[in-house]
Amino acid sequence: MWRFLRVFKPAHSKVDDFREGRTRQSDNDFLADCGLTPGTEAAEIALAVRRAVAGGGLIDPLFIRSDDSYPGTLEVLPLWDSMDWLAFVLEVERELGQSFPYGSAELVSKSGPVTLRDLVARVRELLEKPQNT
């Protein structure tokens, strides 16, 4: 029975596995990798998405990079190992201080791996999309 329980890693072990071999990346370097200029609205959205990814994964946002993907590198982290997109969307909305105008389904409608850079672009598109009233 105890062997079965050891199959599941505790959250701190998952975070340690993810961080292994990585160094922290500054927000400015992260933004440059996303093709964004610091101090812009687009940059603020990108950093909010980065913090949301990190918050769900219980990791310092400086370890999250623009080319991290799901599936790919992110599923090592807590939450991302059994991805709950609704929890992620709620975390992004909390970080941004606003709700998405068209709900969460459009955020993750892409098939195949999605990078953090892709998520940032998708959040920006959703926030810029005019709302039907």
Q: What stretch of H or E contains 25?
A: none
- pLDDT confidence of 67, banded at 50, 70, 90? very high
Q: Is the pLDDT of residue 85 over 90?
A: no
Q: How many domains would you assign to the chain?
A: 1
- Residue 2 belongs to a domain: no
The whole domain housing 88 covers 22-127
- Residue 132 belongs to a domain: no
Mean pLDDT over 110-130 rounds to 84
Name the residue with tokens 């998952």: 14
Secondary structure of the chain: what % helix, strand, coil (to 5)? Answer: 55, 5, 40
- CATH number at 89 reads 1.10.1200
Q: Is the pLDDT of residue 36 over 60?
A: yes
Q: Is the pLDDT of residue 117 over 80?
A: yes
- Pick the residue with more confidence: 49 or 8? 49
- pLDDT confidence of 3, banded at 50, 70, 90? low
- Residue 114 belongs to a domain: yes
Q: Is the pLDDT of residue 58 over 50?
A: yes
